[in-house]
Amino acid sequence: EGCYACWVGHACSIGARQPTPWAAGTYTNITGFPSGVKCEPGRFQASEGKTACDACEVGAYCQAGATAAMPCQAGTFGDTTNLGSQSECTDCAAGAFCSTGATSPSDCAPGTRQDRTGQSQCLECAAGSYQNETGRTACRICPRGSYCAAGASAPLPCVGGTYSNQTGLQSSDQCTDCPGL
């Protein structure tokens, strides 16, 4: 038996019968190189014995030597490839939320709000208030002549025969009966 050159992406120890592939998270495209080189930040390699690393996908980050992409944490998003750490993921803005691995922020829905940055969910409007728009940081006080249950996206009018000259009513029970009825 003769000696053969070690394969690209593999290591060969003295007297080896078979080349050993470099570990996942490493690469090289040079024949006979003694060991694999760690993938640089923003790239990863899930397989053994490879000659290149893959780009970290959108919504995730890859630290040096990564064998897999890690999703950006809830409250943050990644809208570009090749992020090298969680700190490179962007905080969600106020009025929006980001779930784990988000590629962009999502606006808060009507009936909800979020006044802080870096959040993973929006908060329901409290009873006595409403929000009829998306992506808002605050809820509006329920106007006179109407009431607003928790999570309201619009004020509801006091039922026939009742009224209110106050703001912030939370239920129809708080509307006042019209005089003389």
User: Residues 61-71: pLDDT tens digits?
Assistant: 999 999 999 99
Cα gap 166→155, rounded to integer Å: 13
d(CA 100, CA 150): 27
Query: Long-range pairs for 118-121 at CB < 8 Å and ≥24 separation?
Result: 118/75, 118/76, 118/91, 118/92, 119/75, 119/92, 120/74, 120/75, 120/92, 121/97
Percent over 70 (pLDDT), the chain: 83
Q: Is residue 1 predicted with pLDDT exceeding 60?
A: no
Q: Where are the alpha helices (DSSP H) in the chain?
A: none
Cα distance between residue 157 and residue 161, in whole Å: 11
Q: What is this structure's pTM? A: 0.79
Least confident of 10-14, 86-90, 107-111, 119-123: 10-14
- Per-residue pLDDT, 153: 98
Helix (H, G, I), strand (E, B) or coil at 116: coil
Q: Which of 136, 67, 69, 79 is nearest to 108 (CA)?
A: 136
